[in-house]
Amino acid sequence: MKRLNSAKLRKAGWRSGSVKEFLGLSDEEEALIEMRLSLSRALRERRIEGGISQTDLAARMGSSQSRIAKMEAADPTVSLDLLIRSLLTLGASIKDIARAIAR
């Protein structure tokens, strides 16, 4: 946000903060959300770089295209196990997955 707008909002009594503060998340909850987002981003990037459609990846995994879309959107109904399995299916190594999480 521009400095001027931010100053105007503060003067009017507003304050800014993090998503963690707004939602009242614990450190562990924040870390899990960040991990899910990182893995989802890595999945989408690796799939696109490999020229693979969501439908093709779904067929390889015995899943559906809509499930792959949910995985790439970091939908909370998708387990971390499934995100990791999908990356492994696309040829990611354990080091690749660790790098994705560390981003």
pLDDT in tens, 43-99: 999 999 999 999 999 999 999 999 999 999 999 999 999 999 999 999 999 999 999
Q: Identify how many contiguous H helices and E strands the chain contains and give both numbers.
A: 7, 0
CATH of the domain at 87: 1.10.260.40
How many domains is the chain built from?
A: 1
Domain range holding 64?
39-103
| Cβ count within 10 A of residue 24 | 7
Residue appearing with tokens 């899910």:
36
90 is a domain residue: yes
Q: Reduced to 3 states, what is the DSSP secondary structure of residue 9? A: helix
pTM of the model: 0.80
